[in-house]
Each structure stands twice: as structure tokens, then as C-alpha cells.
Amino acid sequence: MRGDQINLQNIVKRSATQVPSPQERDDGVETVTKLIDVSRCIGCKACQVACSEWNNLRDEVGECVGEYDNPTDLTPNTWQVMRFNEHENEQGNLEWLIRKDNCMHCAEPGCLEACPAPGAIVQYANGIVDFNSEHCIGCGYCVAGCPFDVPRISKKDSKAYKCTLCSDRVYHGLEPACVKSCPTGSIMFGTREDMLDLAETRTDFLKERGFENAGIYNPQGVGGTHVIYVLQHADEPEIYNDLPKDPRISPLVEAWKGIPKPLASVAIGLAAFAGFFHYLTAGPKETSEEEEEEVHADEERDQQSEEKRP
Amino acid sequence: MSKPKPHAKSDPGILRYDALSRINHWLIAISFVMLVLSGLPLFHPFFWSLTGLFGGPTMTRILHPYIGLFMTLFFVIMAIRFFKVSLIKRHDIQWLKQIKDVLSNHDERLPPVGKNNAGQKLVYWIMVLCVPLLLVTGLLIWQPYFADAIPITLRRLAAFGHAYVAFLAIITLIIHIYSGIWVKGSFTAMIRGRVSKPWAKHHHDLWYEEEMEKERKEREMSKPQHQIMTGEEPK
Ligand code: HEM
Ligand code: SF4
């Protein structure tokens, strides 16, 4: 795992920023990817625990809701959860589908696109999308931007939180905590190329075992993701707890955040200028002196005629 | 009651906005401008430095919606009070058709209009449309109070809507402010409440005539009363 360091001189995308970020030091940096092989996961949640431990997250102990899902959703303190789904396949057999749900580290991240705070969300040269809480203002726009419903706003400090892909560990040449803890080898980490290769091998294996529709989940609608799944049924990702089939940044978000915004900003400036130049050319609207005289003459006449009347 | 001579230099003119209207207007104006200045940095990073006016980026984000609530409250009052004078009349359409004459200061070609001209009425109606929309969309994306409870598509729609309704409101505001600078005498109308009679006749002839009619009637009314109270014979 050489050469995948991240540091502040190595940012390829930065929220709400028009100018390029420092990125000269990306030589030899390869993009990384986490591969989650759903077919091998046994749902032990070791990764969930490892995540909490490494990141110093201690969510409140919840209640059992009659399922294995616990906590039942991502929270500011829970950056990944195992989603359990009971699926009946075509043969009428039960399949227990267990998906580790966390930030997908999109190549084209909707969160970063929506974020209004310069530098609150960054993408490093190795592909990791990270929230910089120091710059986060708590507006919640990233939540609206994300096609996977991942970021969560803290009630304590009103800042957004999500999986960092252990950017701090990766920076020091370690794999993410979840990868390290997985007892079945269901979570793998490495260069993007290696992981895509490995995913291919696993898919072929699954196909041999009768899962004809086995495949890789690496959605192109968001430019591919740096967290990819191997799915037994890649043709219907929805059965894995509503994994979107063709995720992309919502057209509403594109319309909100896209080209109209700089245009509108310029239009606001132009409107102010237009006023100024109109004043320069047409001049102020004034009442003339003749009009003033006229009004006063009128009044005088009025008054006189009234006084004459009995 | 002593009445000032109409042609004296100290002509008090005509009352256009009473104190309540003026206070109301300026409360809205100040908070509206603050909303623009605190909303724009979130709209586009071009305007990010405006967050410095509100104590930093996070404070800007926190303050903006509260200023919005404050502004809306007073806007509702003003919208109700100004409703009747803002109804569009036939002569307003004609005035609008001659917008070129308006812009090139060929006022003598324009039809006489009432207390407000079509431009002012349009500002009223655009704002009456925008402010409620801004309130509703703003509430839907308000962190940490409401946003988390709102379905994601609605949140996206609200964020989109808020941004572009705000854009419309800001453009309208710029036009509104510029008119105040451009039309001499109207700024003082909103500061001191009064306009000169020539100003009224020039810009709002129908309103001027109405006011003059009122004045005449008042004078008529006060005459016989004066006689009764003093017992004097008319001269
Ligand atoms: C009427 C009550 C209003 C409420 C409750 C409200 C609320 C909000 C909220 C919650 C946000 C998100 C950022 C934040 O949390 O501060 C926002 C953003 C914004 N607001 Fe308002 N607002 C109101 C009125 C206005 C008005 C009158 C304007 C200007 C004409 C305005 C302009 C903006 C702009 C430009 C943004 C940024 C939009 C974007 O990021 O695309 N708002 N507002
Ligand atoms: S999954 Fe959501 S939070 Fe993660 S990078 Fe993509 S858009 Fe951002």
C-alpha cells in the first residue's frame, strides 16, 4: 500500500472553491478503493465496533427493534451500519443479505457539490472524500446533495459527520479499521486497480457457484465510487436495503447548485451596475420649477375662490 | 386651527406615509438587506466574505433564519396595510406599456396614476409572492429544527426554490432601491413621511387630486364650525 498518502497539499476537489487546490504532490499517489464483498459477510459487526473504536465514537446504546439492525440507522456517532434483509429468491429460498452501509466515497461527490462552505468537504488525490469539521457551518446542504443518504448533522455541535475511510490511517499506510477487523476477509482495501481486479475474480467465482447475476456495484452515475460492493444479485441492488440502482446527483441539486448560480450572481452585480449607468445617462427624475409654480398658482386660485364664496 | 399658507417655503406638503408605515418599512428594509447579505454567501462563494459581517460563517448560517422570521412578521403587517393601494388598475397597464417613457424621464407622456404607480405595485406583488415562498422553503431546510424531519426530495426542492426565489427578490430589491434614488423626493417621503404638492402632482396625479379634494372638504367643514363656535359673521 505504497504511495497513497493524503495530505493538505494533495487535494483534487474542494467544496465552494473556484480556484485549483494544491495538488502538485500527487506523483505516485494511486487512488484507493474499499471492496465490500457482500457474499462473504456474516454480519458479525466487528467492523462496526472497530469503526467506533478507532474514531472514538460511542453512540448511545439503543433498543432492540426485533431485527439485527443496530443501530437502525447512521448517526453522527455511527458512521457505518450493517443492513440486514431477508430476501426470497426465485427458487423460493431465503437469502439473508447483509450490507455494510457507509459513505461510498463517490468520485463525483454530491455532498461536496452541495456544500457552500469553502474547504469543508475535500477530496484527496487518493479519492477519499473527507469532511473538515473545522470549516463546516452545519447548514445540512451535504445531506441534500448525497445520493446515498449518508451525512448526519450532530445535535451536539451542528456539524456534519460521516465515514472518513479512515483517511488518518490510510495517510500512515494502514488500511481502514473496518478492513483490519473483518474476520472473513469480506472487506478488502488497496489500490483501485487491484480492488477492481479482485472484485472481478470474486464475481467470476460467484457466477460459477450459480449466482448468474453476480456483479460489481461501482455506479457510474457518480463517476464510480471508492467503496465498491460485490453483490450476488447486481441486477437488483434495491434488494440490499434500497441500494440505488443508478445513483446520481439529483437533478434538483444540479439545478440548484449548477451553472445558474454563478450566472445569477453575475446578474445581481449587473442589476446594480445597470442602475448606476441608467442614472448616468437618463439622470434623476425630478419635478420642474414650472410645475411647482403651477401647483402654487392653482392653490392660490382655489383659496381665493373659496374665500369669495359666501 | 391655524393652517399653514400653502405657498410658504415651509409648505408641509402632503402626508404620504404615517409614522407607523415608516417604522414598519424600515424594519423590513433593514432586516431584508441583512437577509440578502447573510444569504448570499451561502448562495455562492463569490460572496463568502460577507459572512464576516455576521460574526463568521457559522453565525451567519444560524442568524439568517431568525432574521427571516422577524422580517416576515413585519412584512405581513405591511402587506395587509398596503393591499388596497396596490391593486392594479387600468391606467397602470397603460403606464407599464409606456415603460420606455418612464425610463427616459418623459413623464409628461404618462397617464396619471394613483398613490402608487405600476412599478411600485409590481414590487409589492412580487414581494407578496416571494416572502411567503421564502418563509416556507426556508423553514423546510432549517437546521437543526425542521430539515431532518423533511423528506429528502422536498428538502432539495426547497433548497432550490429558496435560492432562486431569493434571487428574484434580490433583483426586485435592487430595482426598488434604485427607484428611490432615481426619483428625487421619494426617499424623503419614506424618511419624513411627507411629499411636496408638486411632487405628488407630477408622480401621482390621481392621488394628488384625491388629497386636494379631501383638503378642500376639510376646509369647507371647518368654516361653519368656526362661525358657530365664535358667533362671527362671514366676511
Ligand atoms: C422568510 C424567512 C426566511 C427563512 C426562514 C430563511 C431561511 C433560510 C435557511 C434555513 C437557509 C439555509 C442556510 C441557513 O440555515 O442559514 C437560507 C439560505 C438562504 N436564504 Fe433564506 N430565509 C428567509 C428569507 C430570505 C430572504 C428574504 C432572502 C433574500 C432575499 C433569503 C436569501 C437566502 C439565500 C440567498 C440563501 C442561500 C441559498 C443557497 O445556499 O442556495 N432568505 N435561508
Ligand atoms: S456517499 Fe454521500 S457523503 Fe459519501 S462521498 Fe458520496 S455524496 Fe459524499
Question: Does the beta carbon of B162 sit less than 6 angstroms from any atom of ligand 1?
Answer: yes
Query: Which of A17, A155, A296 comes nearest B144 by C-beta?
Result: A155
Mean pLDDT of chain A: 93
Q: What is the pTM of this model?
A: 0.91
Does A103 belong to an annotated binding site? yes
Ligand 2 center to A115 CA (angstroms): 12
DSSP codes, B87-123? S--HHHHHHHHTHHHHHTT-GGGSPP--SS-HHHHHH
Residue A90 in this model has a pLDDT that exceeds 90? no
Q: Are the beta carbons of A295 and B197 separated by less than 8 Å?
A: yes
Name the residue among A109, A139, A145 with its Cα closest to residue A124: A109
DSSP letters spanning A245-270: SS----HHHHHHHSTHHHHHHHHHHH
The catalytic position among B176, B202, B203, B204 is B176
Cβ atoms within 10 Å, residue B101: 14
**Residue A64, marked binder:** no
Question: How remote is the CA of residue A184 from the centroid of ligand 1, in Å?
Answer: 49
Tell me how far CA of residue B216 lies from CA of A30, A303, B209, in angstroms: 88, 9, 10
Q: Which of B13, B194, B3 is nearest to A306 (CA)?
A: B3
A120 grid coordinates: 469543508
- Average pLDDT in the B97-106 region? 95
Q: Is B107 exposed, middle or buried (0-12, 13-18, 19+ CB in 10 A)?
A: middle
Nearest CA in chain B to A290: B198
Distance, CA B232 to ligand 2 centroid (Å)?
A: 90
Q: DSSP for A77-99?
A: TBSEEEEEEEEE-TTS-EEEEEE
Task: Measure Cα distances from A10 to A5, A20, A22, A225, A226 in Å.
Answer: 9, 11, 6, 19, 17
Residue pair A85/A97 in contact (Cβ under 8 Å)? The answer is: yes
Residues 6+ apart with CB under 8 A from B224: none
Indicate yes or no: CB of B202 within 8 angstroms of CB of A262. no
Q: How does the average pLDDT of chain B come out, rounded?
A: 91
Q: What is the mean pLDDT of residues B147-165?
A: 96
Report the relative pairing of strands A129-131 and A227-231 from DSSP bridges: unpaired
Please name the residues in contact with A87: beta carbons below 8 A apart, sequence gap of 6 or more: A94, A95, A96, A97, A239
CA angle A287, A292, A296 (to 5 degrees): 155
According to DSSP, the residues that pair with A217 across neighbouring strands are A229
- Can you read off the three cell numbers belonging to residue B101? 417613457
Domain boundaries, chain B: 14-230
Contact criterion met (CB below 8 Å) for A283 and B181: no
The DSSP secondary structure of B69-92, one letter per residue, reads: HHHHHHHHHHHHHTTGGGS--HHH
Give the H/E segment covering residue A303.
helix A289-308
| Residue A3 predicted with pLDDT over 50 | no
**HSE-CB of B75 using CA atoms within 13 angstroms:** 24
For the four alpha carbons of A239, A245, A251 and A254, in that order, the dihedral sign comes to positive
Q: Of A28-32, B48-52, B224-228, which one has max mean pLDDT?
A: B48-52
Q: Which of A68-72, A286-290, A300-304, B88-92 is predicted least confidently?
A: A300-304
Gap between the Cα atoms of A112 and A120, Å rounded = 8
Over range A239-249, report the average pLDDT. 97
Whether pLDDT at B3 is above 60: no
At residue B194, the 3 state secondary structure works out as strand
The SS3 call for residue A296 is: helix
Contact (Cβ atoms closer than 8 angstroms) between residue A164 and residue A128: yes
Ligand nearest to the CA of A16: 1
Can you read off the three cell numbers belonging to residue A272? 446594480
One-letter amino acid at B26 equals W
In tens, the pLDDT along A183-221 reads 999 999 999 999 999 999 999 999 999 999 999 999 999
Could you read off the pLDDT of B208-220 as tens digits, one per residue?
Answer: 999 999 988 888 8
CA triple B206-B208-B212, angle to 5 deg: 120
Which chain A residues are within 8 Å of B103, Cβ to Cβ? 278, 282
pLDDT at A41 over 80: yes
CA distance A271 to B170: 10
In total, chain A counts a number of residues equal to 310
Residue B147: which of A140, A253, A261 has the nearest Cβ?
A140
CATH of B14-230, one of 1.10.3720.10, 3.40.50.1100, 2.60.40.420, 1.20.950.20: 1.20.950.20
> What is the greatest pairwise CA distance in chain A?
116
Q: What is the pLDDT of residue A151?
A: 98
Please confirm, yes or no, whether B176 is among the known catalytic residues.
Answer: yes
- Return the closest-CA partner of residue B188 out of B197, A29, B196, A247: B196
B14 sits in which H/E element: strand B14-15
Beta strands in A186-302 (DSSP E): 187-191, 215-217, 227-231
- The model's confidence at residue B228, banded by pLDDT at 50, 70 and 90, is low
- The answer to whether the CB of A127 falls within 8 A of the CB of A32 is yes
Using an 8 Å Cβ cutoff, are A253 and A113 in contact? Answer: yes
Residue A150 near residue A81, CB atoms below 8 Å: no
pLDDT per position as a tens digit, B43-60: 999 999 999 999 999 999
> Does the pLDDT at position A21 exceed 80?
yes
pLDDT of residue A27 exceeding 80:
no
- Contact criterion met (CB below 8 Å) for B86 and B125: yes
User: According to the model, what pLDDT value does residue A7 have?
Assistant: 63
> Would you state the pLDDT for residue A212?
95
